[in-house]
Each structure stands twice: as structure tokens, then as C-alpha cells.
Amino acid sequence: MPPLVKICGLTTPDAVDDAIRLGATHIGLVHYEPSQRHVDLQTAATLRQRAGSRVKVALLLVNATPQAFGLAYGTVRPDIVQFHGGETPEWIAAVKQHVPVEAWKAIGLKDAGTLERSRKFHGVADRLLFDAPAQALPGGTGTRFDWSLLADYRHYMDWGLAGGLTPDNVAEAIVATGAPLVDVSTGVESAPGVKDVDKMAAFLKAAGR
């Protein structure tokens, strides 16, 4: 079975339609102002409604306060909230007590020690998303990490692979890591924040979709 594919950082109705038409299983909307892919909550809500039930929709947040989280979730009503900052297991557990949402936690994978520390999210988050370590921004940098860290790792919960994936390397990444889900943003763009339909098509084909 081919991996699930999430195309993240969508900002326009056309990009949403293209991603779904080409076979993405998930799309991501970024609500984080420093990002070049940031969408305000009303835009995110419109894009989420456009996707409907055709695909699972993730809303990416970074270190949102409880008030900001409540407003974002209530406005957009995503299927998934992707926590991409320094959120603790306790914070994610509190969120899940109050809202019926799938929770993903992004982990900047530096070394084997990071993998072991990620175990604290077991039983709390629904999926870990292993990404390149944060730089100026916590994601969407187009930077990959050392896939060999995941090569023989015995995973204890659902997970996915992000960070520097492109149409040219995603097949290799899947073979190297056995990723059940791959997540792309920068690798299918013609300019920062502008999704390229041909690159999305090539990525999905390379991923087996």
C-alpha cells in the first residue's frame, strides 16, 4: 500500500482542488504569521470548507495560547491540528480533552536521542511527524534530515516523514524509512507559498499515488 500524502501550506482554492484531484490524502493549512504560507482564520475556514470530506484537513499551529487555539479550532474546524512548536504532552492532552480533533506533533529530528525523547507523546498525540530540526521557522524550510535515523527504528505509534521532500527524492525516502505518510510543502512550489500543479502531480506519482 502506498503511503498517505499530505500537501501542506496550501493558500488558494485552486491549490486545494489540484491537491485533491491529483490524489493527496491530506492537505495542510498554515496559521502562523511568520510563514510565507500563512493564511488567516477566515481564509483557512473557506479552504477547509472547500475541501469538505474529500480529504483530511490539518491546521498547523505554533505555540498557540489556549485562547488562540480555541479561536482557530472553532473557526476552521479542521480534522487534524498539527502542533509545530514546543507544545508539551500535557498541553496536547488538555486540548484532546476538550475538542474531538486528531492531534499530530511535529518533531525536529536531530539524533537518536530525539527519537527516544519523542516517546513522551505516546498515548497523547495521534501521530508524530518527523521533520528537519527547526531553523528560523519551525517547518517549511525545504531542509531534509538524516533518514538513516529512522531506517531500523521500531515505531510505537503512527508517524510521518517531512522535511526537504521533493518529487525527485520521495521514493528514495519511502524506501529508506518505510514512512506510512509523507508530507511536502516547499518541494512542490514554484515560488515560496505558490504550489506548482506539475510538481504536485510528480510528487504524488513518485509516492505511488
Ordered by start, the domain boundaries in the chain are: 4-206
| Rounded average pLDDT over 173-198 | 96
In this predicted model, what pLDDT tens digit does every residue of 12-43 receive, in sequence order?
999 999 999 999 999 999 999 999 999 999 99
Which one, of 56, 69, 60, lies nearest residue 20 by Cα? 56
CATH of domain 4-206: 3.20.20.70
Residue 191, strand partner residues: 194
- Give the pLDDT score at 146: 87
- Give the pLDDT score at 137: 53
In this predicted model, what pLDDT tens digit does every residue of 38-95 receive, in sequence order?
999 999 999 999 999 999 999 999 999 999 999 999 999 999 999 999 999 999 999 9
- Give the pLDDT score at 135: 57
Longest CA pairwise span in the chain (Å): 43
In this predicted model, what pLDDT tens digit does every residue of 101-157 receive, in sequence order?
999 999 999 888 999 999 999 999 999 999 987 654 554 556 678 899 998 889 999
Q: Confidence class of residue 170 from pLDDT cuts 50, 70 and 90?
A: very high
- Where does the chain show beta strands of DSSP type E? 4-7, 26-30, 56-61, 80-83, 102-108, 127-131, 159-161, 181-184, 189-191, 194-195
